[in-house]
Amino acid sequence: MTYQLDSADSATRVTRGTVRDLSTGALPLGDPTGGADAIRWRESVDGALAYPRVSIDRDVTITTSDGVRLRATVIRPANRFGQTVATPFPAIVNVNPYNRAVIDGLDHALHAPVVGKALRAASGAVDATGTSLEGLTTLTKTLAGGVFDVFGINRNLVRSGYAQVIVDVRGTGASQGKWQILGAREQQDSVEIIDWVAEQDWCDGSVGMVGWSYSAINSLQAADKRPAALKAVFAVEGCEDIVRDIYITGGLPSAFIPTWLSAVNLLKWVPNPANAIRDLVRGDTLRWMNDRLRSPATELTSLLWGFLTARDDRIFDDPYFDERDPKVDQITAPVFAVGAWHDLFGGSATGVYQRLRMAPGRKQMIVGDGYHIDVGSGFGGKFAPPRLDVLERAWFDRWLKDDHNGIEDYGPVTMLQQGGAWTSGASFPRAGVTLKRLYLSDTSSGTAEHATHDGSLRRTPGDDLVSLGVRPDLRGAMSRDMTQVSAGAAMVFGRTFTTDARFQERGALSFTSEAVGEATAISGAMNLRLNVATTAHEGIWAVTVNDVAPDGSSRVLTNGALTVSNRALDEARSLYAEDGSLLQAHHHLTRKRKMPVPSDIPVRIDVDLVPTDAILEPGHRLRVDVYANSFPRYLTVVPDLVKARGRRQRLVLDPAHPSHLTFLSSGSW
């Protein structure tokens, strides 16, 4: 059989790319709860605060160097009569595109007499684990986990002796100008906002940045500019590679992007009622309206055009994205990164942590086993990390107030191990894991008869040449992929969308290992090498790696996807083990580096999978599921669909060119 091999076997490349030290050793576990220090951190938030009230000015204007008027809310400590305290304080800045009117509504709801406390108490008390309402209660627990204090007005933080500044991104909310979606001018705005805040008489010159999602990304962007006043960052579910995390994973656009763009574009047309009359009198409403009319639906039409024609640069890894990715390795301010294994930005926290060039302690990482909108769910509970608002307060107390409260000794790597418990240690990947390789075999495992094909994962390649066909289907609409792309919302529909992939696996080529005899850790990056063929001139592949329980339930640990034309590797940015084995593929994903797909001739592809951390309990198995697509997690631009029309895809298992999973594990396999 003829193969098209696009480059030399990576097993011979020891000097290219990044080499990971895979030294062994026991993981020095810490206390993920934070112990006695965390009790003090929580008491400082929930106990008596320095100031009884806050004063809120929702009508602040910051004029940028190009004349655009940004609108902001400034929250400051107040005495019991509501009078603003004149003392200068450190300031916490949040710059986001979701309209301060929404944040105001959230603030009113959470601090309404009786109702606010009742909401928080109920969200932490209700537990429907193991029932059909499990997903719903996971979402409601998010409120008790503190992320909405990080996202919006944090009254307890202000009352402890901080000023807070929340700014509408230019072109969104009440701010004027055109929305740039994290572009260079918007990044300059963040730096100018920091400088403006530091110069105010109510600020003592020290500034921190905080954010969730978009505002976490622009916090990291601002930090890479190193403004003198910026002393620390608290970033919840940010991102350091927008293209691969969410925009065009493996060359496949995400259904989340048009949904999100539509929501922000809609919100930017909603005037803020807090200052609507004054804006009208001052002429701000007219300027705001003119700016909105000049860009009524920012990037939606270009995104549609790119999807239909593939002629827009944002369908590829273009300088457009290079401008927007935070330059994390240039950041010097301490950073606390929070993420989740199945977040929209799956590799966000781990990627940020690993790229930060600073000592552990000045950088911290927490990763939970959740999605995007449920971040912090369960935080503050028994054996779990402190609430996010507690960690935020401790982080800024340390770096903005020089309070040696022990937060730099927390973690620094705190993870909810999938299938296990919270752990706190020194590194990611965790110490004690070594390089492993399992080969995809045609031999039946006897555990996945429901799948299109039931194969096995073995220590050695099989002896026979086998070709396995697989067809695209729509089962991905009821899967963990669907919950991931919906930012976690689909979890309310039950286990098929979260912890049991057997329905989706009916359309998969499934390969399952023997049961492990002891608790076996998997930690870090992993790569799946496949030899694939298609009768058309494009192939679409989606992959999950799963933990299979003795009862047969199959829980997705990580995932990835690739269009065959995007298989060209950027070897300098790919991750290799010491022996040259490819651990994490970094594909070019550019227009110029797309490769032809020969009809019905096998080619080699490497599907990069989101780094993860998991534990397989005794009796559990590891499974690789290979799909011809996973809609709507991964979409295909129309020109690629045309090239792939009528395709018959197949996975070729050839002992001369074996398909295999490369990963880091503590097991003997």
pLDDT bin (cut points 50, 70, 90) of residue 2 is very low
Report whether pLDDT(379) > 60.
yes
At the topology level, CATH places domain 434-665 in Jelly Rolls (2.60.120)
Cβ proximity of 237 and 212 under 8 Å:
yes
Helix/strand/coil percent split, the chain, to 5: 30, 25, 45
392-433 residue pLDDT tens:
999 999 999 999 999 999 999 999 999 999 999 999 999 999
Report whether pLDDT(3) > 70.
no
**Alpha-carbon torsion (37, 43, 48, 49), positive or negative:** positive
> In terms of Cα–Cα distance, which of 613, 266, 603 is closest to 433?
613
The whole-number pLDDT of residue 29 equals: 57
The whole-number pLDDT of residue 127 equals: 77
Cβ proximity of 238 and 211 under 8 Å:
yes
Within 295-428, residue ranges assigned H as helices are 300-309, 319-324, 348-355, 388-400
90-139 residue pLDDT tens:
999 999 999 999 999 999 998 888 777 788 877 877 777 777 778 888 99
CATH 3.30.70 fits 50-336, yes or no: no
Q: How many CB atoms lie within 10 A of CB 121?
A: 12
Report whether pLDDT(593) > 80.
yes
Q: Where are the domains of the chain?
A: 50-336, 434-665
Round to whole Å and give the CA distance between 59 and 62. 10
Average pLDDT of span 235-245: 94
Report whether pLDDT(203) > 90.
yes
User: What backbone phi and psi angles, to 5 degrees, belong to 534?
Assistant: -145, 145
The whole-number pLDDT of residue 116 equals: 79
Are 50-336 and 434-665 in the same CATH fold? no
Report whether pLDDT(649) > 90.
yes
Cβ proximity of 122 and 140 under 8 Å:
yes
pLDDT bin (cut points 50, 70, 90) of residue 283 is very high
Report whether pLDDT(4) > 60.
no
386-399 residue pLDDT tens:
999 999 999 999 99
Angle, in degrees to the nearest 10, between helices 100-110 and 115-125: 80
The whole-number pLDDT of residue 48 equals: 96
pLDDT bin (cut points 50, 70, 90) of residue 591 is very high
Cβ proximity of 610 and 249 under 8 Å:
no
Average pLDDT of span 281-287: 94
Round to whole Å and give the CA distance between 623 and 510. 7
Q: Provide the whole-model pTM.
A: 0.94
Sequence-distant (≥ 6) Cβ neighbours of residue 381 within 8 angstroms: 124
Round to whole Å and give the CA distance between 136 and 302. 36
pLDDT bin (cut points 50, 70, 90) of residue 18 is very low
The whole-number pLDDT of residue 7 equals: 40
The whole-number pLDDT of residue 25 equals: 32
Q: Is the peptide bond before 429 cis (omega within 30 degrees of 0)?
A: yes
CA distances from 604 to 7, 15, 530, 561, 587 (A): 9, 21, 6, 14, 13
Average pLDDT of span 63-81: 97
Averaged pLDDT of the chain: 93
The whole-number pLDDT of residue 323 equals: 94
Report whether pLDDT(570) > 90.
yes
Report whether pLDDT(19) > 90.
no
Cβ proximity of 234 and 208 under 8 Å:
yes
Average pLDDT of span 476-497: 96
